[in-house]
Structure 1
Amino acid sequence: MMDSYVLDFQQIDKASLPLVGGKGANLGEMTRAGFPVPAGFCVTTGAFRAFLEQSDEMEAFFLSLAAVKADQLDEIAALGRGIREHLVTVAVPAEVLAAIMASWRRSGEAQAYAVRSSATAEDLPTASFAGQQDTYLNVLGEEQLLEAIRKCWASLFTDRAISYRAKNGFDHRAVLLSVVVQQMVFPEVSGIMFTADPISGHRGTVSIDAGFGLGEALVSGLVSADLYQIRAGEIFAKKIAKKKLAIFPLPEGGTVTRQLPEDRQGQQALSDPQILELAALGERIEKHYGSEQDIEWCYAEGRTYVVQSRPITSLYPVPQMNVPEGESPHILLSFGHQQMMTDAMRPLALSVLRTMIPFGKAAVRVESSFTQCAGGRMFLDITQLFTLKPARRFFPKLLSGIDELIGIGVEEFVQREPFIRSLPRQKGLKRGALRLIMPIAGKAIHNLLFADTSRAVQIVNEWMAARLTEVRTQLTGVVGAERIMRVQEQDGMMLRSLLRNVIAYPLAGIISLGLIKSLTKKWLDDTKTVHVLNKSLTGNVTSEMGLMIGDLADTARRYPQIAEIIGQADNANFRSSLQQADGGDEFIRQWDRFMQHYGMRCPGEIDITQSRWSEDESLLLPAVQSHMRTMEAGEHRERFAQGATQADEAARELIGRVRALPFGWFKAKLMSRLIKVFRNLMAIREHPKYLMMQTFGLIRQALMDEARLLVEAGVLKHEEDVYYLTLDELLQLTQGEPLIRLSLDEKIAERKREYARFRNLTPPRLMTNEGEIITGHRKQKDAPEGALLGTPVSVGVVEGFARVVLRPEEARLNKGEILIAPFTDPGWTPLFHSAIGLVMEVGGLMTHGAVVAREYGLPAVVGIDGATQRIKDGDYIRLDGTRGYVLILKRQD
């Protein structure tokens, strides 16, 4: 019994985590692997459990803990204080006390010890509770030791520990505490080492912080540390800090903080040979664990000691790529940022997207080799493009239209001399690029200069209808492997078809807009009129969707029972309730007509595993309700008509002013042509995404039909399990082939856990295959002090209350509010009618939210990192869509 209460480090390995927690398991693992770890022992979770069982009140406390929420800070403070005050009165069981004393005497009664807590949910690959419980240094004698152990036990219930568990969904009963008792080392120098750069994410960089005395001064943030960075066995960066303070042990136990002599404050804490030796030790520890490590170390009497090592949980995952040695790092672009949907996706959604990309593939059905997955997101490997010199100059500018920070980051990265020198040369790339670009460019120029563009929307609509009919025909009447192969074929053909048949239309519209801006500035020194031309483009499928939602709101207004049903947002009883309501038949007909056109859409629609509006009608109801609350009947149609009138008047005025210039007849004719092309073709900007979603709707239906058959055959337990398989794996299942390595159930369960973890990650806009996060640095704008800087995408200045919306189905916009969102895709468009301005964390001049904001005449700023956290719900703000900033005028109390 006594052995289960205390274990020596030599008795512990990584499998001992339930007994000794993450910290204790790591120390035992390193000790047994031969790393230089000071000796010690762990008071196990069994001892902690026996201690809690002495209490008659802990059961009631645990019930209270289960009910408390992470943001209930006052309740947490009172509850935590009550538990800690109670635990100091609880007696330590005699058998636990005897086991601790026996181990202490074997280890050395005269030794000084460091006593640290080690929770069972601490220092894990997926979660770090570092700093949540307490540490006691230079503990001397029996009395100090027992007091430190008891305080460690109580520290499981500090305010921050309770809040952290509540926020991250850990059961308070399930998290147990061990206590690490480790012989103290009194170092001359100590610090922290990361075997990957925790700031940039670069996996080949060892980053070391070092200071004098005990490492607690660095961990607690008391002093600045020296920073050394090592890559490929060489020190490539040093920053020597002024180290004014250090923590030292006291003879009677405990520690003291003292000021260092002036002549030592600026000294380099470690010599260069010591730095390289320490880095090599870190790399060996990382290799042992198989993951990047956060290592606490110290240097004493000519020897380096490791006092802790834990996984670095803050790093964004790196895609698995085989990049030849000596080749430049590959630069990877976030597809989610480009598509205005940065949430994590399941394997099936990623597989559909990778198959959709038409480049880097030997056959239409396979996934593109130019795509990589990391952290539940898809990234595009754009490295090979930059072997073409023109691409280095023009592609970053093109990307800036998608997201300014992406464009800046790419531009800065490709200027790095090692990148240019080590670029992989790709034979035939230039010829292939020209073969793709020239036909599109030729059609765009023809549309710009010669074509009758008045029927362009109709022509594209007819082609899209025919294409969709073809997809539907291909996916009808087949099952099993044949159905999955046809899904892959239609998915793989989609973008290539769009490039060949549609893209030249909006491309000509974009070029015409650029020329209008340039010529208006050159001829008239006018930068304002052109923005009015963006309003109310006829034929834009996304704008028409918003107008139809306004029509639904107008119908609902006339019938109080329908308005009440919409407010309830009950998907299960929505249709049956409507059928019994006054006006229900009329509303249902209108609703079904909307779903026929747009039911395949939803927020986050590029993720094919997301429920569509037609499947979960409640997702759309908050948008209808917001429209009813913020607009009068018919107001949306009136605004659209006014926008069209304003655009026509602006066009006539602009042409008239140009006609009055020298050679005005020619300039007016050119300007008239450009405006006509822009107004006729820019509306097609949203059509490619619309066809993608229509195709995705058919593909999703085919995949879910196949999933149902697999459930009936007993292959899958649930239809939604298909979300955690790739298309190739699904094909294997339908062919009766087993999936390798893990059983199907284990594979699905593992991927569900991964997806849950990935959802909490924030993806980078750009990264390399080495894990380095590439961050573009925006130039300072003409903005007030303290303003949040972004990219201006729709002109105008507006002030109002901020409404932070993370999910559109949960939105409750009121009249006069400014929408603050992480991103928007067409599934968010219904909210645009209700807002007076738009702020997004991602996006650029030509992304969905920017285009629609300009059509609606909403001032908009995008690309403000962390906007949904930095701006609080209810803040009164000024949004300047002309200069590109947001200023918080008054904080919400």
Structure 2
Amino acid sequence: MTAAFRDLGAPVAGLAAAPVAGPAAAAGPVGTLGLGGKGDSLAALIAAGFDVPAGFAVTTTALRQVVEHNGRREAVLAALGRLDPHTLPEVVVDLAAALDGLEWPAHLLAELTEQVRELRGVQGVGGGRFAVRSSALAEDGAALSFAGQYRTLLEIEADDVAAAVLDCYRSLFDAHVLHYHLDHGVPVDPDAMTVLVQHLVEAEVSGVTFTVNPVTGHDTELVIEAVRGLGEDLVAGRVRPVRYVRDWFGRTTATIASAADHPAGGPLSDAQLDAVADVCLRVQRHYGFPVDVEWAIADDAVRLLQARPITRLGYAGIRDQWTTANFKDSGVSATVCAPFMWSLYEYVWEDWLPTYLLDSALLHPRELRRVGDLFYGRVYWNLSVVKRAMEVAPGYRERAFDAELGVKITYAGNGTVTKLSPRTLARVAKVALRQRAIVAARRAAAPELLTELLGRYDARLAELTGAASAADVKSRWRQVVVTDYHRSEGVYFWQVFINQVHLALDRDAIASVVGHDGYLDLIAGLDDVSHLRPFYDAWALTRRLRADPDALAWWRGTDPDEIVAALDTGSLEHRLDEARAMIDRFGYHSVREIDVTHPDFDADHRPVVAMILDTLGLDDGHDPHADRHRLTQRRADTLARARARLVRRVAGREVGRHRYAAFARRVTRTRQLLWWREEFRDCSTRQYHLIRVASVRLGEVLVAESVLERADDVWYAKAFDLVAFLDGSMSADELRRQVSRNRAYYDSFRNHAPENEIGHAFDGAGQVLPETPGAVLGIGSSTGSVTGTARVITGLADIGRLNPGEILVTTFTDTGWASKFALISGVVTEYGGILCHAATISREYGIPCVVAATGCTTRIPDGATIHVDGPSGQIIVLSEGR
């Protein structure tokens, strides 16, 4: 074939060679092949081994040549140049005239005829008819689908294919298509169309499957609509289908709607329904995101006609408001969550949060509902329940609460506001007494708790790394996962809950004296904060390397992979012994801290080597001790400003000293709360390291005992399913079935980016933001401003593109990214709140930070010059990317 035509089944580099049929198969999103949304998708499905009707694409090259051959291109471009909402009717007329009577160049017509002849000769096709389908480059995208906008022609005879192709091309300029472009601000490209010619499936039954329920939002429900015969009337909405809803996770099926033209109860037999459900779920697993699939059944085979992303989801069936706030930057919702990891979070979250809310008298037992759940492979927490608890406090403003967390605001004004009244005063008095007791108890117990957790960590690590029988491995795994984890994570979560309540109150009181910027200055520069210790060690090591010419030359001249290999072999040269000591001290960290499936530093040395090399390139102007001195001075200046405001000299006496002393104590208390949160988070990270070590060994044992097929199957079992198996209350067959089902769920959403807030209250609701022309708005979380180059990093794999002095623009950060903050001049994140990881680390480094900047990774071009204003939360794009 020439560039004018392309076989849909031609091999494509990088595409999967087999469908996702087993737990190991996982293909990522398909890159564009230049065949339009439909063509790219079908080519990818063919490459993956799915049953797709044979065919070829008439490419944009061929269609442009047709227009140019007829001398119509200039007229088309001129008409499109005048397109706006007012000129739309006349532009449609002009385009129709410009494209009327097109004739094929002789050489292209000959090649098209040959392609049709060859397609008719494909085994099993014989003299069959054809389906001619538009495949625009703009359709079936992640944001806009253009569903139903372009033309599809069925039952086309061979002699009519050439005319049908041009008819499909003209649909690029239909009035409703141009209107769609204008409504969504998408430019019209006259070359943005290919046309597919395929063997027509003489369907017995046709239909469409949504692999998640697009109305209720239920993520394991397949919605299958089917009609007898060809499906074009179904897609166009001209017939009433029979609808089936199947929860593939639970294997339940219901016929939701029927119609008079299906008197027998539906066009699909049970076997056909099973086949359709199976193939559509495999398509979802192949892509890793929800899709709608057009299919047809002929000769007892399910044949795929189209698969595209579902671009709009409703949540009418999900009670309450749910959010990933604070779960993104902590890691558990940073990406699709392994079933094992979710089961750990579910274990502690469903226990400790209700306990705290009840012990604090913030909620009555009857007001409690489920507080955590998994949607679309991500962990969410129940925002409705927590808001109900926070409403107890007089002065509560829903908008302030949502803004601090970075939650999407879908209402005007302040939302729910709690005013002072006799009723609220009586309730809050009870809460205050409970809270005072809770905080006092934690303040007194914190040092002892820290000693306990660190001591237990050292003891368990020694046990886990020693030789052990299979029975010992199982016993130690249970101890670490069931008993120790509940204790360690409970201590951490209890501190988080305390902080959530009291930091909000302290923030308002402090900001009322020194303003928002002053508040940020006063909570920055925490002493010996845990998440910066690896960088301090890396800094000290690299200063020694810079003073050692031989070692410095080796580190700078050796490939990072060779450095890792030298560490793995135990080499002590070139100060590798010091690097090894650093790994021994911080081996429990990883670049994905709360993801037990991801190797920690002790198993994967590459992040540590990268940290050392990054830090080695920094001159002494980046000395963290100098940063701390600067932050300490800024804090002292802010305290002095507060004292000047609160203390006045009246008649030779200082008035207000007690007010200032109370203010200073509040600042100290706030800093202590923040420090303890980070310290107990570090203990939590250590516990996850123990869980990983114990679970890896358990997986190896269960494979050796032929219980699991692969060692990593352990991550696809829920923790308490493993406990049930070890107890003998679950069979090995049932455990394997659970693993298989959980893998299917994990695969289904591994490339999906669900909304941060879901639930019926967010169903179709948009973000309500103040208007600032030309600005991307977020929450100012660290003082200062900076102008520099934006580096848009969408994931950990791209972090190597970040250069010194640039401004990091990303979705969220993880604690494993901390060392990168020494390189950059500012941070902008799409998610998070004022106490999230990015905000906390930015304050420690003294760089501007804006979080919860909705759409920042798409609205800010990579490489653009931007101005980040920390106090106001505004980001101004000064120049386009390069």
Note whether the superposition's TM-score is higher than 0.5. Answer: yes
Measured in 1, the distance between the counterparts of 2:717 and 2:159 equals: 58
After superposition, give the CA deviation of every residue in 1:63-98 in whole Å (9 maximum; x if it has no partner). Answer: xxxxxxxxxxxxxxxxxxx99996654572597399
Between the aligned partners of 1:195 and 1:723, the Cα distance in structure 2 is: 24
Which secondary structure does the structure 1 equivalent of 2:310 belong to? coil
Q: Aligned AA for 1:314? A: I
What per-residue deviation string (whole Å, max 9, x for no partner) do you get for residues 304-351 of structure 1?
Answer: xxxx997774268999x9x9xxxx923322263373542112111111
Contact 2:589 2:601 in 1 (8 A): yes
Deviation at 1:701, TM superposition (A): 1.3
What residue identity is the alignment partner of 1:758?
Answer: F
Report the Cα offset of residue 115 of structure 1. 3.7
Change (3 A) 1:338 1:799: closer
> What is residue 372 of structure 2 aligned with on the other side?
371
Q: Distance in 1 between matches of 2:390 and 2:864?
A: 47
CA contact (8 A) 1:506 1:685 kept: no
Q: Kindly tell me: are residues 719 and 694 of structure 1, through their superposed partners in 2, closer, same or farther at Cα, counting changes over 3 Å?
A: same
* 2:344 matched residue in structure 1: 352
Shift of 1:376: 1.8
Number of the residue aligned with 1:301:
none
Q: Can you list the C-alpha shifts for 1:588-634, whole angstroms capped at 9, x where unaligned?
A: 23x34433443212222111111111210102333333333344376
Against the structure 1 CA distance between its residues 377 and 130, is the aligned structure 2 distance closer, same or farther, given a 3 Å change threshold? Answer: same
* Structure 1 gap segments, 5+ residues each: 1-16, 25-43, 50-81, 105-112, 153-175, 184-191, 209-213, 220-224, 232-274, 298-307, 417-430, 522-526
- SS of 1:700's equivalent? helix
Cα distance per residue 1:126-153 (max 9 Å; x no partner)? 999998999653877651158759999x
* 2:838 matches 1:844: no
Aligned CA distance change for structure 1 residues 665 and 720 (closer, same or farther; 3 Å): same
Q: Distance in 2 between matches of 1:318 and 1:342?
A: 22
Does the aligned pair in 2 maintain the 1:817–1:837 contact within 8 Å?
yes
| Structure 1 Cα separation of the partners of residues 211 and 571 of structure 2 | 63
Classify the secondary structure of the residue corresponding to 1:351.
helix
Give the equivalent residue in structure 2 for 1:180: 200
Tell whether 2:657 aligns with 1:665.
yes
Deviation string, structure 1 residues 741-775 (Cα, Å, up to 9, x no partner): 8782x76456445434422101222212x796575
> What is the alpha-carbon distance in structure 2 between the residues aligned to residue 889 and residue 314 of structure 1?
34
Q: Does 1:488 align with 2:482?
A: yes
Counterpart of 1:632?
Answer: 620
Report how far residue 579 of structure 1 moved. Answer: 2.7
> Secondary structure of 1:811's partner?
helix
Does residue 646 (structure 1) correspond to residue 637 (structure 2)? The answer is no
Residues 674 and 736 from structure 1, CA distance in 2 versus in 1: closer, same or farther, beyond 3 angstroms?
closer
Aligned with residue 728 of structure 1, among 682, 697, 720: 720
Match in the other structure for 2:437? 442
TM-score for the superposition, normalised by structure 1? 0.61
CA 391–508 in structure 1, closer or farther in 2 if over 3 Å, else same: closer
**1:886: Cα distance to partner?**
1.5
**Percent identical:** 19
- Using the TM superposition, give the Cα deviation of residue 694 of structure 1 relative to its aligned residue in structure 2, in angstroms: 1.0
Q: Secondary structure at the match of 1:579?
A: coil
CA 1:687 to 1:774, structure 2 compared with 1: closer, same or farther past 3 Å? farther
The verdict on how the C-alpha distance between 1:747 and 1:503 changes in structure 2, with shifts beyond 3 A counting, is: closer
Q: State whether structure 2 residue 595 is matched by structure 1 residue 607.
A: yes
Within 5 Å, give how 1:729-744 maps onto structure 2: 729-735=721-727, 744=736
Q: Which amino acid aligns with 1:96?
A: G
TM-score scaled by length of structure 2:
0.62
Q: CA deviation at 1:215?
A: 9.6
> SS in structure 2 opposite 1:855?
helix
Say if 1:481 and 1:519 are closer, same or farther in 2 by CA, change over 3 A.
same
Letter in 2 for 1:698: L
Q: What is the CA deviation profile of residues 658-701 of structure 1, one whole-angstrom value per residue up to 9, with x for unaligned ones?
A: 32366232333223323333444432231232111111111211
Who is 2:188 aligned against? none
Q: 2:769 aligns with which of 762, 776, 779?
A: 779
Matched letter for residue 620 of structure 2 = E
Which letter does structure 2 place at the counterpart of 1:137? Answer: L
8 Å contact kept, 1:796–1:858: yes
Paired position in structure 2 for 1:811: 800
- Please give the alpha-carbon distance, in whole angstroms, between the structure 1 residues aligned to 2:374 and 2:339: 9
Partners of 2:163 and 2:791 in 1: CA distance: 50
Q: Bigger CA drift: 671-680 or 850-859?
A: 671-680
The one-letter code matched in structure 2 to 1:643 is: L
Measured after TM superposition, the shift of residue 824 of structure 1 is 1.1
| CA distance in 1: counterparts of 2:596 and 2:740, whole angstroms | 20
1:799 aligns with 2:787: yes
- What is aligned with 1:766? 757
- The yes-or-no answer on 1:537 pairing with 2:537 is no
| Aligned counterparts of 1:469 and 1:135: Cα–Cα separation in 2 | 67
Which of 511, 514, 518 is residue 520 of structure 1 equivalent to? 514
CA distance in 1, matches of 2:109, 2:615: 51
State the SS of the aligned residue for 1:373.
Answer: strand
Shift of the 47–516 alpha-carbon distance from structure 1 to 2, 3 Å rule, reads closer
Q: 1:681 to 1:48 in 2, by over 3 A?
A: closer
Q: Does residue 555 of structure 1 match 2:549?
A: no
TM-fit CA distance, 1:828: 1.2
Distance 1:466 1:788, change over 3 A: same
More deviation, 137-146/633-642: 137-146
Unaligned runs of 5+ in 2: 1-19, 22-36, 40-50, 57-106, 169-195, 226-230, 244-256, 281-289, 296-303, 357-368, 418-425
Deviations along 1:443-495, one digit per CA (max 9) or x if unpaired, are: 43799xxx8x9xx9866643542454676699797636544442223223333
Q: CA deviation at 1:878?
A: 0.9
- Amino acid across the alignment from 1:494: S
Mark the CA change 1:661 to 1:828 in structure 2 (over 3 Å): closer, same or farther.
farther
Aligned to 1:144: 160
CA contact (8 A) 2:703 2:711 kept: yes
Does the residue aligned with 1:819 lie in a helix, a strand or coil?
strand
Q: What's the RMSD between the two structures over aligned residues?
A: 5.8
Cα displacement (A) at 1:725: 1.3
* Matched position secondary structure for 1:479: helix
One-letter code aligned to 2:439: A
- Partner Cα separation in structure 1 for residue 404 and residue 625 of structure 2: 29
- The answer as to whether partners of 1:513 and 1:674 remain within 8 angstroms in 2 is no
Between the aligned partners of 2:149 and 2:715, the Cα distance in structure 1 is 39
Confirm or deny: 8 A CA contact 2:530 2:679 kept in the other structure: yes
Is the contact made by 2:133 and 2:197 (CA closer than 8 Å) also made in structure 1? Answer: no
Q: Tell me the CA shift for residue 887 of structure 1.
A: 1.7
Q: CA deviation at 1:570?
A: 4.8
- 1:196, distance to aligned residue in structure 2 (A): 8.8
Q: Does 1:497 align with 2:491?
A: yes
- Per-residue CA distance 1:843-872 (angstroms, 9 max, x = gap): 011112112212222111111234233333
Q: Aligned to 2:589, what secondary structure does the other structure show?
A: coil
667 and 316 in structure 1: CA distance in 2 versus 1, 3 angstrom threshold: same
Structure 1 residues 616 and 890, CA, compared in 2 at 3 Å: closer, same or farther?
same
8 A Cα contact 1:457 1:681, kept in partner:
no
Tell whether the 8 Å contact from 1:766 to 1:774 is kept in structure 2 after alignment. no
Query: Whole-Å Cα distance in 1 between the matches of residues 734 and 164 of structure 2?
Result: 45
Q: For 1:731, what is the secondary structure of its paired residue?
A: helix
* Residue in structure 2 matching 1:867, options 856, 863, 877: 856
Partner of 2:11: none
Check conservation: 2:258, 2:266, Cα contact below 8 A.
no
Q: 1:381, CA displacement in angstroms?
A: 3.5
Q: Is the 8 A contact 2:112 2:162 kept in 1?
A: no
Q: 1:371 to 1:650 in 2, by over 3 A?
A: closer
Change (3 A) 1:656 1:415: closer
Q: Residue 155 of structure 2 contacts residue 200 of structure 2 at CA under 8 Å; is this kept in 1?
A: no
Q: How does 1:614-629 map to 2 (within 5 A)?
A: 614-629=602-617
CA distance in 2 between partners of 1:513 and 1:838 (Å): 22
Q: Take 2:329 and 2:217, find their aligned partners in 1: how far apart are those partners?
A: 22
1:889 corresponds to 2:878 = yes
CA contact (8 A) 1:401 1:846 kept: no
Aligned pairs for 1:65-214 (under 5 A) are 89-90=114-115, 92=117, 96=121, 115-116=132-133, 137=153, 143-145=159-161, 178-180=198-200
Determine if the alignment matches structure 1 residue 329 to structure 2 residue 345.
Answer: no
| Equivalent-residue separation in structure 1 for 2:122 and 2:438 (angstroms) | 85
Describe the shift of the 1:337–1:840 C-alpha distance in structure 2 as closer, same or farther (beyond 3 A).
same
